[in-house]
């Protein structure tokens, strides 16, 4: 701190330029008389305006400081910003401060503030003086309430600026209201809470485990348009197989012993499941192969490996039915594992042999 500053600037900051907008007076407003006039006109234009109180407060501080300093060592000024954007406001404040300090270089600045928003200019003022003192002028409100207001304002601004946050804040209530209205129209209100709970639960799970990003990454693994079509086709086939399995399971439970449920389902749908899973990889393989990427044979391995699900599930069903022994089942499973290992190294060899000299 400066013990006996030679020059002191009593400063008021109207960051959003209420003075200019409501009275037409442009900053910087320098001198006691001009500041009294600006504060009076602003109070007449808008009696609830806090900036008028801040300017009057600055005048009061200026009068008190005159008892200790001479008029040559003391100056009162109000700088105005802009109501268009924070960047323009800060730039205008710097311009006006440069104009003021051209002839009056303060050793100390006493900032008379009406709240937390104006105090955000302190980093800007530090370039004009190393010593800055703050005097607050608040009328019929507490500092905590005002700070809370600006904090809430800042979070709301960020909420509206960020599309993802905006989608969550307004999308979830919007969907819940839509579901409520739709369920009411369809006369199925009893399912509303379950539907809303399911929706909110899925969103929370997505936020907790980043499921959407993982799904996008998994889909991106399958390549471009052909790979995506192949993936969707395989996924559709898998979905249809699961639905058919469910329907057949209901039929089997009603008409056959429970012990044959799983073996029968594996026998009837193992081929459908294997083909659907394999289809997911073929489109990506063709795309990568056309681009001469070593990744093509990784997809080829995946496509062929998915087809081995068919004999694995078939032999599993035969073992569960007691048609084959445990030894035969284990021998077959080991054979499949050895086949997959050989297939992996074969596709790896083919990839390096055909495209080894090229980048992916």
Give me the residue spans of the domains in the chain: 8-141, 162-209, 223-355
Looking at every residue in the chain, the average pLDDT score rounds to: 81
- C-alpha count within 13 angstroms, C-beta hemisphere, residue 114: 20
Exposure letters 208-219 (e unless 16+ CB within 10 A, then b) = eeeeeeeeeeee
Does the structure show a pLDDT above 50 at 128? yes
Calculated CA dihedral for residues 279, 281, 283, 287, nearest 10 degrees:
-170
Among 56-70, 80-94, 144-158, 279-293, the least confident range: 144-158
CB 223 within 8 A of CB 283: yes
Report, as an integer, the average pLDDT of 153-172.
70
pLDDT for 76 beyond 90: yes
Q: What pTM did the predictor assign?
A: 0.43
CA nearest neighbour of 129 among 112, 110, 109, 111: 109
Q: How confident is the model at residue 138 (pLDDT cuts 50, 70, 90)?
A: low
CA distance 159 to 157: 5
Lowest mean pLDDT among 103-112, 146-155, 188-197, 337-346: 146-155
Residue 34 pLDDT greater than 50, yes or no: yes
Confidence of residue 151 (pLDDT cuts 50, 70, 90): low
Residue 135's SS3 state is strand
The pair of structure tokens assigned to 202 is 């899925």
Distance of alpha carbon 308 from alpha carbon 344, whole angstroms: 13
Q: Which distant-in-sequence residues (6+ apart) come within 8 Å of 45 by Cβ?
A: 22, 23
């Amino acid at each position: 701190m400066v013990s006996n500053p030679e020059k002191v600037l009593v400063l008021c900051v109207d960051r959003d330029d209420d003075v200019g907008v409501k009275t037409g007076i442009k900053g910087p407003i320098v001198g006691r008389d001009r500041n009294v006039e600006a504060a009076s006109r602003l109070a007449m234009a808008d009696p609830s305006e806090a900036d008028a109180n801040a300017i009057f407060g600055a005048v009061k501080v200026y009068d008190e400081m005159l008892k200790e300093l001479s008029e040559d060592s003391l100056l009162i000024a109000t700088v105005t910003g802009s109501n268009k954007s924070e960047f323009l406001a800060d730039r205008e404040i710097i311009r006006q401060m440069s104009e003021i300090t051209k002839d009056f270089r303060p050793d100390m600045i006493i900032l008379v503030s009406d709240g937390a928003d104006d105090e955000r200019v302190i980093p800007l003022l530090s370039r004009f003086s190393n010593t800055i003192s703050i005097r607050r002028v608040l009328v019929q409100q507490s500092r905590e309430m005002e700070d809370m207001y600006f904090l809430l304002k800042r979070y709301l601004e960020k909420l509206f600026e960020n599309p993802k946050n905006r989608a969550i804040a307004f999308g979830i209530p919007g969907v819940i209201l839509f579901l409520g209205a739709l369920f009411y129209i369809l006369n199925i209100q009893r399912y509303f809470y379950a539907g809303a709970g399911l929706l909110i639960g899925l969103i929370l799970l997505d936020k907790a485990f980043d499921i959407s990003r993982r799904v996008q990454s998994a889909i991106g693994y399958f390549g471009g348009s052909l790979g995506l079509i192949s993936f969707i086709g395989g996924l559709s086939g898998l979905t249809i197989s699961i639905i058919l399995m469910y329907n057949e399971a209901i039929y089997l439970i009603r008409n056959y012993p429970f012990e044959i449920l799983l073996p029968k389902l594996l026998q009837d749908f193992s081929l459908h499941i294997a083909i659907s899973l394999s289809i997911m990889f073929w489109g990506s393989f063709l795309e990568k192969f056309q681009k001469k990427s070593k990744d093509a044979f990784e997809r080829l391995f995946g496509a062929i490996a998915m087809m081995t699900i068919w004999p694995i599930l078939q032999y599993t069903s035969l073992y569960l039915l007691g048609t084959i022994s445990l030894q035969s089942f284990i021998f077959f499973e080991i054979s499949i594992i050895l086949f997959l290992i050989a297939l992996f190294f074969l596709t790896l060899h083919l990839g390096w042999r055909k495209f080894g000299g090229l980048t992916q």
